């Protein structure tokens, strides 16, 4: 079936650098996307979302980009800090279908080196 | 404000034993989810409740798994009998209303289950 996947399972960056985490999705019916952060021993935490009628959305130090043509989603973290070290998941939703259901990617482990 | 509260945080049990995981959603939230997380399969939705009613249990692996929501502030996920392949982190999550879009889902800290 259709699913969400990630290009890079691990990413290591230096403190202060910008991080880019990528995600590919294959369900063309998905129209809502979320990035979650999961720290060790904790549950996923909402970071930022984007609807399919947008191609970019910015939050505090984070930006999500959506390219519907190639079904690609990315999370950019500016000035990465040690506290950003975590696993990052993208998730997709079809709000016109099972609107409660999120399909999660496998996750990317981000390690920030001091 | 208290978030989603799960118990136990950690459980180690022997194969064949019954396991009961508990969840208290955020007060006022009408939607409740149980997810399972493993390295192999990632985060999977097991069951979804809306207004205490199970809406979608298609993710429940087999009859050994059951979930209940007797009232708006409590849910259980039960595994009987447990098997080693059930070892995983089980997350409960809640949201204010049905529908993900624009409606933040809050996850608990998880129940880490090991079946030996």
3-class DSSP string for B10-78: EEEECCCCCEEEEEECCCCCCEEEEEEEECCCEEEEEEEEECCEEEECCCCCCCCEEEEEEECCEEEEE
Question: Taking a C-beta distance cutoff of 8 angstroms, is the pair A47, A59 a contact?
Answer: yes
Categorize the per-residue pLDDT at B100 as very low, low, confident or very high, splitting at 50, 70 and 90.
Answer: confident
CB contact under 8 Å between B31 and A100, yes or no, is yes
The pLDDT score that the predictor gives to residue B34 is 98
The pLDDT score that the predictor gives to residue A8 is 47
The DSSP letter of residue B88 is E
The pLDDT score that the predictor gives to residue A97 is 83
Length of chain A as a residue count: 114
How do residues B62-82 score in pLDDT, each as one tens digit?
899 999 999 999 999 999 999
CA-wise closest residue to B94 among B62, B48, B60: B48
Question: Taking a C-beta distance cutoff of 8 angstroms, is the pair A65, A59 a contact?
Answer: no
B50 pLDDT higher than 60: yes
User: Average pLDDT for residues B27-55, to the nearest whole number?
Assistant: 95
Round to whole Å and give the CA distance between A63 and A19.
Answer: 10
- The residue in chain A having the minimum alpha-carbon distance to the alpha carbon of residue B94 is A100
**Cross-chain CB nearest to B43 (options A46, A99, A104):** A104
């Amino acid at each position: 079936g259709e699913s969400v996947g990630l290009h890079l399972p691990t990413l290591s960056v230096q403190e202060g650098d910008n991080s880019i985490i990528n995600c590919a999705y294959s369900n063309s019916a998905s129209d809502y996307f979320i990035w979650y952060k999961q720290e060790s021993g904790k549950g996923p935490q909402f970071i930022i979302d984007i609807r399919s009628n947008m191609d970019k959305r910015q939050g505090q130090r984070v930006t999500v980009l959506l390219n519907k043509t190639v079904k690609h989603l990315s999370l950019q973290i500016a000035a990465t800090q040690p506290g950003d070290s975590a696993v990052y998941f993208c998730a997709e939703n079809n709000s016109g279908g099972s609107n409660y259901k999120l399909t999660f990617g496998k996750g990317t482990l981000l390690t920030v080196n001091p | 404000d208290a978030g989603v509260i799960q118990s136990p945080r950690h459980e180690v049990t022997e194969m064949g034993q019954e396991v009961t995981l508990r969840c208290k959603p955020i007060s006022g939230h009408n939607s409740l989810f149980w997810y399972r997380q493993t390295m192999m399969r990632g985060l999977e939705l097991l069951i979804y409740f809306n207004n205490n009613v199970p809406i979608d249990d298609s993710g429940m692996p087999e009859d050994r798994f059951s979930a209940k929501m007797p009232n708006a502030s409590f849910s259980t996920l039960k595994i009987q009998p447990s098997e080693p392949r059930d070892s995983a982190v089980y997350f409960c999550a809640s949201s204010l209303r049905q529908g993900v879009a624009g409606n933040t889902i809050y996850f608990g800290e998880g129940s880490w289950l090991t079946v030996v």
